[in-house]
Structure formats: C-alpha cells, structure tokens
Structure 1
Amino acid sequence: MKVLVTGASGNVGRYVTENLLKMGERVVTAGTNTQKLIDLFQDKVDPVYFDFTKKKTFKNALENVDRVFLIRPPHLGKPEDLYPFIDAMKDYNIKLVSFLSLMGIEKNTIPPHHKIEKYIESSQIPFAHVRPGFFMQNVSGVHSTEIREMNKIFIPAGNSKTSFIDAEDIGLSVATLLRNPEIYKNTAHTITGAEALDYFQVAEILSRVTGRKIEYAKPGFLKYRRHYIKKRGLEKAFVNVTVALYFMTRMGTAKDVTDDFIKLTGKKPRTFEEFAIANIDSFQ
C-alpha cells in the first residue's frame, strides 16, 4: 500500500515525501498543481490532482493508500474545510493519519488546528499528531526581505524565546511516524529544536554567518502590521494570522524545548546556525 502526502510541494510536505522515498515507501503526492509535483519528484511518485474543496478528487487520492500526511492549506481558514476529507478517509481503512498541527495547540483552542485534531480523534481513524515549533524557514522566507534589504529582523516577538525547528527535521519526524503506524497510532509529538532563542540571539547568529550587522528591530504589533500590509503588500488575513501567532509567542508558548525529535529519529535537530549557513543565500 501507498502513503498519501497532501501539500507535497510545500515546505514540510516536500521533506515528508523525500524521506518516505528514502525509506522505500510508495508515495502518492496530492495537490492542485500536478505539474509542479512532477517537476519536484519526477517519476518517483504518483502525482494526483487533489483539492480539499472538491469531493470528487478524494477517491483518486485515497485509492490504494493506507497512511496519510494531512496538512491544512493556508487559504482554508475554517477547520470545517477539512472535515469532508477526514470523513472520506473512514472508508479506506487508513492505518494512520499524521496531521501537521501546532506546538501548544492542546492548550489553545483558537487556531483551527485544535478542532481539526479533535475531529480526527472523534473519527476513530488512528492518528499521530505532529506539533512543531516555529519553522526556521519563516525567517529565511517571508521575513528574509527585511534582513536582506534593511539588515533588520522585523518580527513583533518582543523579548520572547522560540525553539526553532527546521522543516526538514519535521519532514523526517512525520515520515518516521508514517513508516511505523502500529507503533505510533493515537499519539502526539511536539517537535522542537534543541535550544530556545530570542530574536536578539538570532540577529547575532545571522550577523556572524553573513558578515553583516543584523539587528532585531523589535517592532510593535501595529508597526509590524502596517509595514507588512502597506509596504510589503501582503494580504491582511495572512498578516493578521502572523500577528496572532507572535502574540502567543510573547505569552511564552514557543519557548519549550522537547526531545521528541531525538526519540523519534535518533538524531539531533539542526541548530539555527547550521540552518543559516546552509541557507545563507536567503539572507544575502
């Protein structure tokens, strides 16, 4: 049987797919852009057109599949958007669904991930929730513009600390869970890096790696929101979600460090400095 990976062209889904292939699994990659999946993985996977909002695409995605990596697309803000697909999985004898959730979600009912977790559990499908910390790729991605152009980290996290995790390490964690469905059924795993850093420390690391003086601007929420909407031109809904996440970060929700990654994989998680060195082009 095969493993279905939703969001296979994304930050985490790509690494889930690559690690499953290394483990010898047969993988079905699902998404709305099958050509992108073909370009990424060539003939190593079975690409299928899939859309959470179109029930007619569920059957092709789930045929001959017994494990699923489930990720909520960013544009689907309501937990109910994923319920029809979760219902559909009941008819396919799924041995394990691994849902990409959020760190601390078990205590935070506001983000949609909380209700999605609960819905999966109530469906009686065996599950292995993955609750990662803050992605290192967010710093090298959406927040890298200010680092490159202003030599500043423009993130409203205050003095709080974050236990950053590399998406590649998350992908390996998920693949390990899906490879061993009987061992990990009905479990939850909080995946973090080995240390918690504040953004002053992140700035020091980036300064050292790039050879430039990078500063943490420490903007307030309003200044951050105005910059990202008016100057960067990002969607208000997206920026508002990030504001909410950084508000929670200031409350201390992102600072915990766990050894779940080490327990699952037997490896140490990548440090932020190692990540910055490997992705230095994002900051130049």
Structure 2
Amino acid sequence: MKILITGASGNVGRYVVEALINMGESVVAAGTNVEKLKDIFENRVEVVKFDFEDEKTFDNALKGVNRVFLMRPPHLGKPEDIYPFVDSMKSHSIELVSFLSLMGVEKNPIPPHHKIEKYIEKLGIPYAHIRPGFFMQNLSGIHSVEIKEKNEIFIPAGNSKTSFIDAADIGLAIAALLHQPEKYKNTAHTITGPEALDYYEVANILSSVTGKKIVYKKPSFLRYRSYYINKRGLDKNYVNVTVALYFMTRMGTAKKVTNGFYELTGRKPRTFYDFARDNIDAFL
C-alpha cells in the first residue's frame, strides 16, 4: 500500500517524501502544482493533483493509499477548511494519519491545529500526531527578509525561549511514524531541537555565522502585524495565526526541550548553529 504526502513540495513534506523513499515505501506526492512535484522528485514517486479546497481531487489522491501525512496549508486559517478531507480519509479507511501539529497544542485551543487534532480523533481515524517546536526554516524563510535587508530579526516573541527544530528532522520523525503504523497508532509526539534559545541568542549565532551584526528588534504585536500585512503584503489570516503563536510563545509554551526526536529516530536533533552555518546564504 501507498503513503500520501500532502504539501509534498513544502518545507516538511519534501523531507517526509525523501525519508520514506529511503525506507523503501511507496509514496504519492500530492499538491496543486503537479509539474513542480515532478521536477522535485523526478520519477521516484507517484505524483497526484490535490487541493484541500477542491473535494473532487480527494478520491483520486486517496486511491490505493492506507497512510497519510496531513499538513494544513498556511493560507487555510480555519480548522473547518481541513474537515472535508478528514471526512474523506475516514471513508477510505485510512490506517494511520500523521498530522503536522504544534508543540503544546493539546493545552492550547487557539491555533487551528487543536481542533483538527480533535476532529481526527472524534472520527476514530488512527492517528500519530507530530507536535514540533518552531521550525528553524521560519528564520531562513519568512523572517529572512529583514535579516538580509536590515540585519534585524523582526519577531514579537519578547524575551521568550524557543526550542527550534530543523524541518528535515521533523520529516524524518514523521516518516518513522508512517513506516510503523501499528506501533504508533493513536499516539502523539512532541519533538524539539536540542536547546531552547531566545531571539537575542539567535541573533548572536547568526551574527557569528554571517559576520554581520544582526540584532533582535522585539516589536510589539501591533507593530509586527501591521508591518507583515501592510509592508510585506502577507495574508491577514496567516499573520493573525502567527501573532497567536508568538503570544503563546511569550507565555512559555515554546521553550520545552524533549527527547522525542531521538526516541523516534535514534538520532540527535540538529543544532541551530549547524543549521545557520549550512544555510548561510539565506541570511546574507
């Protein structure tokens, strides 16, 4: 049987695909841009058109599939946007779904991940939720613009600490869950990097790696929200979700360090210093 990977061209999805290929699994890479998926994975996986907003794509994507990696697209801010596909997984008797959730979400009803987890469980679909800390790729991706152009980290996290984890490590952990569906049926796993850092420490690491003087600006929520919507032009719903997440970060929800990644993979998670060094071009 095959494993369907939603968001296969994304930060996490492509690592899940690669890890499952290395485990000898049959993989179906799903997304809205089929040609892009073919370019990324060449002929090593099956490719299928899939869109959370087009229910006509569901049946074909789930054909011959018994396991699913489920990732909520960032632009779909409401949990109800994902429910129709969860319903479809139920009707196709999926044996395990690994949902990309969020660290601490079991106690935090604000992010959409909380309700999605609960909906999967309510329908009785066997699950293996993965709850990672913040992605290191948030800094090399969405937040890299200010780092490159202004030598600033523009994030409203206050003085809080975050146990960043590399998306490649998240992908490997998810693959481990999907590879052994019976072992991990109806489980949840919180995975983090090896240390918790505040953004002053992140700025110091990036300064050391790049040779630039990078500073943490620590904006207010209102200033951050206004800048990302009005100056950066990002979707309001997406920005609102990030504001909620950074609010919870200030409450201390992102600082926990766990041994979950090692328990799933037998490997130590990557450090932020190593990540920054290996992705230096994203910050120059």
Query: What band does the TM-score fall into relative to the shorter chain?
Result: over 0.9
User: Shift in Å at residue 83 of structure 1?
Assistant: 1.6
Structure 1: gaps of 5 or more residues? none
Q: 1:117-156 to 2 correspondence within 5 Å?
A: 117-156=117-156
- SS across alignment from 2:30: strand
Q: 1:1-284 to 2 correspondence within 5 Å?
A: 1-284=1-284
User: Shift in Å at residue 51 of structure 1?
Assistant: 1.4
Q: What amino acid does structure 2 have at the position aligned with 1:143?
A: H
4+ residue runs of structure 1 moved beyond 6 angstroms?
Answer: none
Deviations 1:126-163 (A, max 9, x none): 10000111010000111111111111111111100000
Deviations 1:88-115 (A, max 9, x none): 1223332210000111110011211111
Q: What amino acid does structure 2 have at the position aligned with 1:174?
A: I
Report % sequence identity. 71
User: Shift in Å at residue 226 of structure 1?
Assistant: 2.5
- SS across alignment from 2:183: helix
Q: Distance in 2 between matches of 1:85 and 1:31?
A: 14
Structure 2: gaps of 5 or more residues? none
RMSD (CA atoms): 1.1
User: Shift in Å at residue 176 of structure 1?
Assistant: 0.3
Q: Distance in 1 between matches of 2:146 and 2:53?
A: 35
Q: Distance in 2 between matches of 1:163 and 1:93?
A: 36
Q: What amino acid does structure 2 have at the position aligned with 1:184?
A: Y
Q: What amino acid does structure 2 have at the position aligned with 1:12?
A: V
Q: Distance in 1 between matches of 2:125 and 2:243?
A: 33
User: Shift in Å at residue 120 of structure 1?
Assistant: 0.7
- SS across alignment from 1:267: coil
Aligned length: 284
Q: What amino acid does structure 2 have at the position aligned with 1:212?
A: K
Q: What amino acid does structure 1 have at the position aligned with 2:19?
A: N
Q: What amino acid does structure 2 have at the position aligned with 1:102?
A: L
Residues 87 and 239 of structure 1: is their aligned pair in 2 closer, same or farther, counting only changes over 3 Å? closer
Deviations 1:222-262 (A, max 9, x none): 22222222332223222222211111110111000110000
Q: Distance in 1 between matches of 2:55 and 2:246?
A: 35
User: Shift in Å at residue 23 of structure 1?
Assistant: 0.6
Q: Distance in 1 between matches of 2:270 and 2:204?
A: 17
- SS across alignment from 2:194: coil
TM (norm. structure 2) is 0.97
TM (norm. structure 1) is 0.97
Q: Distance in 1 between matches of 2:11 and 2:76?
A: 17
